[in-house]
Structure 1
Amino acid sequence: MNKIIKSILKRSFGLLALVESVFDKQFLVADVPMSTIVSHQKWEKYLYDIGNKDGLRILEIGSREVTGKSIARKNFSNATYIGFDLYPGNNVDVVGDAHKLSSYFACEEKFDIIYSSSCFEHFAMPWIVATEISKLLKVGGIVFVETHFSFASHERPWHFFQFSDMALRVLFSNVLGFECIEAGMSNPLVGRFSSLADKYLKNKPVVGLYCHTEYLGKKIRDVDDFDWKTVDLFDIVGETKYPEPLK
């Protein structure tokens, strides 16, 4: 019986999705930028193209093979690729805590590219990880982070955060020595509140949902003895302003 019910539900959802796809664009939000340079399907090739060169040093944070086989080492074969992860496993060269990233490398062991995919949501203190990345990245080096803005709860209990494009801009802002090349989102989602939600929310549509968030930045200067406690709010949010209340 369960197989029959699952089959019926699968077909029903498929038909519903086909009908509703006509209205998908209405769930987008105009002020949310879509990634173009390093969208979900493009970022790997972008990094391989700029990083697979003799003499460059590449660090991947969260390199362990969890959901599939990694092709990073092969595609960075001309460079020096190092995989870093909290746990040992396939494609891991250095085991350690990303919150103490710089302590695992000597002062002269800096990197040209540091990147991470689907990991920042699992860091308990991502602002600390951003600081550690800054310490290890060369001036002129590239940082890339892809994480989630809207996604299913996963790998609990270590699923701590969801990130907007602005969140990643704040983590890797100018005060930490970074210049943003691109920050945006990929893979829009169509959502609604379920029948189990509070009465006033039941079945209401939810717009502005996107699965992936990407940040591509360049380190433009060293910042010595950085301390988040001394940062001024408006130095990291820039010229943006909190929206006026609805009238």
Structure 2
Amino acid sequence: MSTPLIIKDPLLLLRARKDDRYLAKDVKAPKLVGHAKWSDYIYKIGNKAGMRILEVGSREVTASSTAREKFSEAEYVGFDYYPGHNVDVVGDAHKLSSYFKEDEQFDIIYSSACFEHFAMPWLVSTEIAKLLKVGGYVFVETHFSYSAHERPWNFFQFSDMALKALFSPALGFECIDVGMSNPIVGRFSALADKYLRYRRVTGLYCHSEFLGKKIKDVKDFDWAKVNLDEVVDGTKYPEPE
């Protein structure tokens, strides 16, 4: 049973115990950068003199950004597809490095609620690697299970393993923290195919988070030449029973 024991309300505890049935036992929540605390963690490690911070997808869409205030001691740059509040550089994230000087790099590059809107996210991870210093940090939060939004530009949903694949040792990264947070209770609807109707759907989580560190430069990186073992974290596709 994974329900926190700090729940004191009897009704809430009962509901939590029922919802526990929907969790995937092999899915862990991030220890450092879960949905409710990732921003404080990034601000803490990044708000220092001399640090350069790049946020990919910085435009204020659903709420006001506090990034400039929180990074008051560092140099903060906001990048987005459209101009708007909190945007310094406008451009296409698939060509991210082309909007900066050849030798320009950052100590932290982070993105929240954007990767699901990238048509080719593997290109974006490669572009981030180009701009990140060796020893620098990358943080990505995106969706694993969530309502379709901003269509038609709602392309992918990412598990924790998907983010580890995008920022794998093949691209020069090591994983510091990864996981999925905010579980969802789900079932098939009455409109589903007959054999699926009302069936419980388990293992749904709203957010997936990844924190990584760039440990080396990989010159002339090409996804087509990557060995699969370098992106699946030593795991193996489940064998047939």
After superposition, the C-alpha distances for 1:202-226 in whole angstroms (9 at most, x for unaligned) are: 0000000000000000000000110
1:130 and 2:125 correspond: yes
Match of 2:211 among 207, 216, 226: 216
1:120 equivalenced with 2:119 (yes/no) = no
1:242 matched to 2:225? The reply is no
Partner of 1:25: 20
- Give the greater-gyration-radius structure (CA): 1
Q: Corresponding residue for 1:205?
A: 200
Structure 1: 4+ residue segments shifted above 2 A: 17-22
Q: TM-score, normalization: structure 1? A: 0.91
Which residue in the other structure is 2:66 paired with? Answer: 71
Separation in structure 2 between the aligned mates of residue 122 and residue 31 of structure 1, nearest angstrom? 27
Show CA shifts across 1:114-145 (max 9, x none).
00000000000000000000000000000000
- Paired position in structure 2 for 1:184: 179
CA distance in 1, matches of 2:69, 2:116: 26
Task: State whether structure 2 residue 165 is matched by structure 1 residue 170.
Answer: yes
Q: Does 1:149 align with 2:141?
A: no
Instruction: Tell which deviates more after alignment, 58-67 or 27-36.
Output: 27-36
Q: 1:98 aligns with which of 90, 93, 97?
A: 93
Q: Which runs of 5+ in 2 are unaligned?
A: 1-11
2:203 and 2:194 mapped to 1: Cα distance?
22
Identity, in percent, stands at: 68
More helix by percentage:
1
Q: CA deviation at 1:19?
A: 7.0
Q: Distance in 2 between matches of 1:22 and 1:43?
A: 26
| CA distance in 1 between partners of 2:170 and 2:72 (Å) | 34
Q: Counterparts of 1:36 and 1:189 in 2: how far apart (Å)?
A: 19
Q: Which runs of 5+ in 1 are unaligned?
A: 1-16
Q: Distance in 1 between matches of 2:144 and 2:38?
A: 17
Amino acid in the other structure paired with 2:114: C
Name the SS for the 1:191 alignment partner.
Answer: strand
Q: Measure, in 1, the Cα distance between the counterparts of 2:68 and 2:31.
A: 25
Mapped to 2, the partners of 1:149 and 1:65 lie a distance apart of: 22
RMSD: 1.5
TM-score (ref. length: structure 2): 0.93
- How far apart in 1 are the matches of 2:181 and 2:43? 20
Which amino acid is 1:238 matched to?
D
Report the count of equivalent residues. 231
Higher alpha-carbon deviation: 26-35 or 116-125: 26-35
Q: Deviation per CA, 1:47-80: give whole Å up to 9, x if none.
A: 0000000000000000000001000111001000
Q: Deviations over 1:93-132 (max 9, x none)?
A: 0000000000111123200000000000000000000000
